[in-house]
Amino acid sequence: MSAEHLRIAIPSKGALEKPTLDLLATVGLKVYRPNDRQYVASIPALPEVEIIFQRAADIYTKVHEGSVDLGITGYDVVCEEDKEDHQVLVVYPKLGYGKCSLVLAVPDSWVDITSIEDLAELTLLWKEQNRILRIVTKYKKLTRNWLFNHRIVNFTLVDAKGAMEAAPSMGYADMIADVTSTGTTLRENHLKPIVGGTMLHSQTCLIGNRQLLKASPEKLKTTQTILELIEASLEAKKYTSITANVRGTSLDEIGMKFTHSPELRELAGLRGPTIAKVYTAAPMDWYAVTVVIPEDKLLAAIAHLRAVGGTDITAFSPSYVFQATCKSSTALIAMLEE
């Protein structure tokens, strides 16, 4: 493959693999992988792209060292592994899946410890007793910085040995700092997150190597194409397109039914309704009205269409909604110019 072809690392196996493949397929970039044992794949719609399957935890390192140009991994991994050279850029910060939070959690039996303030007081008490708080975590940098910022210094970070939720009950740690999505695993292991102890909200993001993208116009252009498709596809999830046939005497009359009050303008589409003459053998004038509205306005829009005589109403979710400019592409150019 040419040196100018774009290499993208995506998660292999694990909880992020299928959602990542589903996202790429949804935005029009379906990955072709002849069999599950191959770690290199392609995107037929973009032949200049090569897909590399990697462990999600290793993707940041691959992007940083330049063995791949782009990568999809968790924002929690990016924040934990982030280097001072700022070589890795967060190109698209919120891909909409893999959502979780990095939290501090203590045993349920610690009934007096419910907040970060309580934890701070506990560490001061333990310091007087020559005892240090032991926290098991894979997120040592984030945890250390968070605790220091909250003036908690009497602690030590312990390496995880197997499932870290079991560490307090096994006795090699007092509490944990880990990611959780639903909190179920914490509850099942008799742990509770503390108030004010959420260190980070995370989801899957797209990252890129600053130097490689800046040095190659071809790679940058392909990246911008990918950003266009991702942004427009995710934007489309917010909207529904509705079409109805409405009887009236003119285009202006139909238009006024959607724009004569501020309340109705919310149901009139992104810029207003699209109205077209329907050619029919019936001895009356019919017009097709199409509006693209926020998804949560669907039932209100249908009720209004019915109120103005609308019939034959259809609704569907658009595949893409392209705005005047691609915000993520513009942001990437700005980052590369810094």
* Class of the CATH domain delimited by 6-97+203-236+326-337: alpha beta
Nearest-angstrom CA–CA distance, 256 and 301: 15
Nearest-angstrom CA–CA distance, 205 and 96: 8
Contacts of 290 (CB under 8 A, 6+ apart): 241, 242, 243, 269, 273, 274, 275
Is beta strand 133-137 parallel, antiparallel or unpaired with respect to 155-158? parallel
Is beta strand 6-11 parallel, antiparallel or unpaired with respect to 70-74? parallel
Q: Which CATH number fits domain 239-316: 3.30.70.120, 3.30.70.250, 3.50.50.60, 3.40.50.300?
A: 3.30.70.120
pLDDT of the residue at 302 = 92
CB 203 within 8 A of CB 100: yes
Q: What is the strand order of the sheet 100-107 is part of?
A: 155-158, 133-137, 175-180, 100-107, 191-202
pLDDT of the residue at 1 = 42
pLDDT of the residue at 271 = 85
6-97+203-236+326-337 and 239-316 share one CATH topology?
no
Type and span of the H or E element at 287: strand 286-294
Whole-structure pTM value: 0.90
pLDDT of the residue at 30 = 97
CB 47 within 8 A of CB 6: no
CB 320 within 8 A of CB 232: yes
Nearest-angstrom CA–CA distance, 204 and 19: 10
Contacts of 32 (CB under 8 A, 6+ apart): 41, 42, 43, 44
* Class of the CATH domain delimited by 100-199: alpha beta
Contacts of 206 (CB under 8 A, 6+ apart): 70, 71, 72, 90, 91, 92, 95, 226, 227, 230
Domain segments of the chain as ranges: 6-97+203-236+326-337, 100-199, 239-316
Taking each helix axis as running N to C, give the angle between helix 217-236 and helix 327-337, from 0 to 180 degrees, rounded to the nearest 10: 140
pLDDT of the residue at 3 = 54
Q: pLDDT digit of tens for each residue in the chain (338 aa)?
A: 445 789 999 999 889 999 999 999 999 999 999 888 889 999 999 999 999 999 999 999 999 999 999 999 999 999 999 988 889 999 999 999 999 999 999 999 999 999 999 999 999 999 999 999 999 999 999 999 999 999 999 999 998 877 889 999 998 999 999 999 999 999 999 999 999 999 999 999 999 999 999 999 999 999 999 999 999 999 999 999 999 999 988 889 988 888 776 667 778 888 889 999 998 776 678 999 999 999 999 999 999 899 888 999 999 999 999 999 999 999 999 999 98
